[in-house]
Chain A
Amino acid sequence: MFLEIKDLSVKIENKNILKSLNLNINKGEVHAIMGPNGSGKSTLANVLAGKEDYEILNGRINFKDNDLFDLNIEERAQEGMFLAFQYPVEIPGVNITPFLYSAINSKRKRMNEEEIDNLSFAKLLKSKASDLGINIDMLKRSVNTGFSGGEKKRYEILQMSILNPDLAILDETDSGLDIDALKIVTDGVNKLKTKDNSFLIITHYQKLLDYIKPDYVHVMVNGSIVKSGGSEIAAEIEKDGFQKFQ
């Protein structure tokens, strides 16, 4: 199994957020999690990425034959887990080029691969940026600093396509995007998809799923997955809302 979440219960500040959650993802699959605000979707993303604010009460997570709880944030990233943030943070004064260059090489180091050299990296970055309609001038700016909401999301997808993760988690990537930007972002995701990597797409609206076709759709309510199925569930939610699942 590629990613296996078993009986996961998590709390933060005395509040139970995830309750006996189960989810299995195989290689090459695209999963979507839909749910109302406050259902615990973002918590799940952050627990997978290793954010330390949460208390794990019960359960286990396996990722590529590792016990995920044995790995810290950067080790999970280096193992091929990528989280596209809902609200990417600004890092003033830090240019994206050296930032991503360090990131890609720390991953290669862990995989015992040779470091990529400066020149090849610059080429790679430029070509990926132009695929995503990102202006070269934007690569000269500091990470996320002064970017619009849409620019930040595009930047996340750029980083994802450079780091080429095994498991990409997209946390509400569609929020704040207009239709054109949404198209560019989802195109980027679709190009990246192979039979060897997997996607976990967290979204509130069905709109995103018009562009990225999930293999499975899960409905998350109140910290648990209450229903799983194919894309017909998304249509159901579009029509009737989350009401009937609650």
Chain B
Amino acid sequence: MNSETLNTLDSYSKNKYKYGFVTDIDNEKPKKGLNEDTIKFISLKKKEPNWMLEWRLKAFSKWKKMKEPKWANLNFPQIDYQDIYYYSAPKGFEKKPKDLSEVDPKLIETYNKLGIPLEEQKVLAGVAVDVVFDSVSVATTYKGELEKLGIIFCSIGEAIQKHPDLIKKYLGSVIPAGDHSFSALNSAVFTDGSFVYIPEGIKCPMELSTYFRINAENTGQFERTLIIADKGSYVSYLEGCTAPKRDDNQLHAANVELIALEDAEIKYSTVQNWYPGDEDGKGGIYNFVTKRGLCAGKNSKISWTQVETGSAITWKYPSCILKGDNSIGEFYSVAITNNFQQADTGTKMTHIGKNTKSKIISKGISLGKSQNTYRGEVSFLRKADKARNYTQCDSLLVGNKCGAHTVPYIDSKNNSAVIEHEASTSKINEDQLYYCRQRGLSHEEAVSLIVNGFCKQVLQELPMEFAVEAQKLVSISLEGSVG
């Protein structure tokens, strides 16, 4: 690698995070630390029925006996669970705002800064957005229109009160509380998140979207999302995330459960841009997320697409359990790590039903001194006749101090399974850079173009409205400075 490339790479490392502002709002928090009182406080604040509190306490007692999973290729100090606030709501949220006029104007301003003007979005984009600020769902746009179709799109807190039957039936059905310590933790203290139910035969006419933001200091965010697509229905869902710049590490441990019944399809896209820490590796979000989808019915399909550019640590494996015959699971991922970021991400495809198919396309880009690991597990159970998997993992290294790792596990108990696996690791190609620059593009433009090209297979899976945003985000993650 020549000196100019190294210089430019060095300037990328001075990457600025433009969502790093803090909104000055009084917060209402319980005492720091995790105990039964904290959980009771959360449950009380959210006016939950007693069965929900019981559910949380049961998860908490499981968590106390568990240890964090240690198999990931990550290095971080022990998390002190007693030094975290588990609930933070902007003051005055006792009564949930009925419409935007009741929401603190400062909050609205925050979202405007983030580029999601609720008012404008309502009118222009046709995107229904549920916004979660720290622990409280702020506003859900487009609710009325969706209700007419029988679609339920609300905060999980509201769903617990208004749709207890669905919650009791499905919450924790895909990710049991006792699955591992982060799922137990989330089950005990989850504060908000989104709930979606699409009734039989309904194709949701717009993209549903949640925007998460961590604002308060020393606050963990534990959101819980549950999406149920009834027979023959379709929904496309997108979540985006940012957080302010702080020197301390903040914990984010979300659980997302998807259930697709017969002939139903769920498309779930994530653009994750949590604060990654500064160029010395100080601060940033610890992102321990469990995402799992169940293709419960015949011919159902679940597709995960993720663009992961933020967080100091990313620990995340959106997975599919392919139970229904002919069901399909897909995972498309772009993970970019810079400076001292660490990402250990991938997927798990569990083939149970006959003729089930899964496809994995993973693109990892490492810069600076970061470590980027793809970890995947594809398993075929005894009855999964004629199941197929295709896996493609490509890694791109920019610079010579970063690392890329690929850890694929394959486990087949059925001889008729067909498995294809392709993997590549390459360095950014000097000839490509030379070619682009000879046409008049700057070194930075050239790198951004080449990396975007490398990710194209995944980016094109994103809904149209967000594909352009994601492309910009990819460029920003590489750029020296952001205006």
A contact set with B: CB distance below 8 Å: 49-53, 72-74, 77-78, 82-83, 85, 88-89, 91-94, 99-100, 102-104, 106-107, 110, 142, 159, 163
Contact = CB atoms under 8 A, between A and B. Distances in A.
A92 B429 CA distance: 12
A92 B452 CA distance: 10
B61 interface: no
Interface stretch (B259-267, B276-284, B306-314, B435-443): B435-443
Given A51-B434, A52-B2, A93 B442 contact: no
Contacts of B445: 102, 106
A103 B4 contact: no
Contacts of A100: 439
A159 to B, nearest CB: 7
Nearest to A103: B439
A72 B4 contact: yes
A176 to B, nearest CB: 18
15 contacts: A50-B437, A50-B438, A72-B4, A73-B437, A73-B438, A77-B438, A77-B439, A83-B438, A89-B435, A91-B450, A93-B452, A94-B450, A94-B453, A100-B439, A106-B445
Contacts of A74: 437-438, 440-443
Interface in B411-458: 429, 431-432, 434-443, 445, 449-450, 452-457
B3 to A, nearest CB: 8
A51 B2 CA distance: 11
Contacts of B432: 89, 91
Main secondary structure of the interface of B (DSSP, over half): helix
Contacts of A83: 438
B454 A92 contact: yes
B313 to A, nearest CB: 28
B145 to A, nearest CB: 33
Nearest to B434: A51
Nearest to A76: B438
Interface of B: 2, 4, 429, 431-432, 434-443, 445, 449-450, 452-457
A85 B435 contact: yes
Contacts of A49: 438
A88 B439 contact: no
Contacts of B452: 93-94
Q: Which of A72, A94, A104 has the most CB of B within 10 A?
A: A94
Given A94-B453, A102-B445, 16 more contacts: A74-B437, A74-B438, A77-B437, A77-B438, A89-B431, A91-B432, A91-B435, A92-B456, A93-B456, A94-B452, A100-B439, A102-B441, A103-B439, A106-B441, A106-B445, A107-B440
B76 to A, nearest CB: 33
A99 B445 CA distance: 10
Nearest to B446: A74
Contacts of A92: 453-454, 456
B365 to A, nearest CB: 13
Contacts of B429: 89
A89 B434 CA distance: 9
A163 B431 contact: no
B470 to A, nearest CB: 14
B427 to A, nearest CB: 14
B446 to A, nearest CB: 8
A106 B440 contact: yes
Nearest to A90: B432
B327 to A, nearest CB: 30
Given A94-B450, A107-B440, A88 B435 contact: yes
